[in-house]
Amino acid sequence: MIAAGLPPEIARRLDAELSKLTGRARSQAPDLSYLRGKRVLVTGAGGSIGSELARQLWHAQLEELVLLDRDESALHALQLQLEGRALMTSDELALCSIRDLDALENIFAAHRPQIVFHAAALKHLPLLEKFPAEAYKTNTLGTANVLQASRHAERLVNISTDKAAAPSSALGKSKYLAERLTAAYGKGKAYASVRFGNLLASRGSVVHSLYHQIVRERPVTITHPQAKRYLMTISEACSLLLEAARLGRDGQVLAMRMGNQVGVLELARTLMDILGREAPVEYTGLREGEKLSEQLFSPTEQPVAGPCPNLLSCQVPPLLPDQLSGLSTS
């Protein structure tokens, strides 16, 4: 299912429509053979991306899968989905904030993960514009902590966003700094950052909001009639992450060839057609830090063909934690 809270049939139909809207072919199933017998750790495992990634990794014949999150309820729900029970006694559950380096070091020392997927983040742009220090402390300093704790890992993927390209928001700036940190730690290693478009499966996604407004017969709120976004399904996102862990090098930034950006108004109309309902549209105006349309790379970045046909790649300037002084997201 591509969007939390949508009925499965609606989700399947919207998934099919997405290929038409973007003009993008469906991605191929990733090669998971490199994961066999490995110890893997996922930060933010209880979130939208982390939990779906955990479900796919669950069947990859790992030696160990460590699920790390600061939200105990999210870990409970994930264990229930994976194991059919949630006793919360497993050593593979780690309750920890990525802001706490000492706690991270202890967990990494105990489990010695060979592959790390870093999905923990704050992500809601309007709220982070009001609280930019929180974006910096979690998305930037928290990533520095994860990279430090992961220093002995063979592979690492830092999950980023297209908002890190020419960033105009606290969210984008904090994630761009995280990419630069990954570039510094990843020199000569199998590390990469992955820029995503808007994920239809994530909590609070645009599809989730539109669906609930339409079925409750409320006005559909859209920031601007020309607003456009890159859209991905959760399965595409996880396939990209798994490919990035296999192929990423030197802390490079990877992004999928996304095809066309989709108008948010067009997306709303598509969802209305699927639901067989109409709803009035209200334009609320772009919020602070928001762009009319997104881009995968900034004008100063020079993307080249990535390690496989559906990926593009660029390098960002490396940045070590001791160089963060004086930098901020505000």
Contact 49, 202 (CB under 8 A): yes
Percent of the chain with pLDDT over 70: 95
- Per CATH, the number for 8-25+32-317 is 3.40.50.720
Distance CA 307, CA 243 (A): 9
Read off the pTM: 0.91
Average pLDDT over residues 145-158: 98
pLDDT of residue 3: 44
- Assess whether pLDDT exceeds 60 at residue 201: no
Of the residues 38, 163, 173, 228, only one is catalytic, namely 163
Is 163 catalytic? The answer is: yes
- Three-class secondary structure assignment of 242-280: HHHHHHCCCCEEEEECCCCCEEHHHHHHHHHHHHCCCCC
Show the CA angle centred on residue 10, arms to residues 127 and 8, nearest 5°.
Answer: 90
The residue ranges of every structural domain in the chain are 8-25+32-317
Q: Is the pLDDT of residue 175 over 90?
A: yes
| 311 φ/ψ angles, rounded to the nearest 5 degrees | -120, 145
Write down the mean pLDDT value for the chain. Answer: 91
How far apart CA 49 and CA 120 sit, in angstroms, is 9
- What pLDDT digit, counting tens, does each position of 19-70 carry? 788 877 777 778 899 999 999 999 999 998 999 999 999 999 999 999 999 9
| Paired tokens of 289 | 């830090």
Which tens digit of pLDDT belongs to each residue from 96-136? 999 999 999 999 999 999 999 999 999 999 999 999 999 99
Span 213-237, pLDDT tens digits:
999 999 999 999 999 998 888 888 8
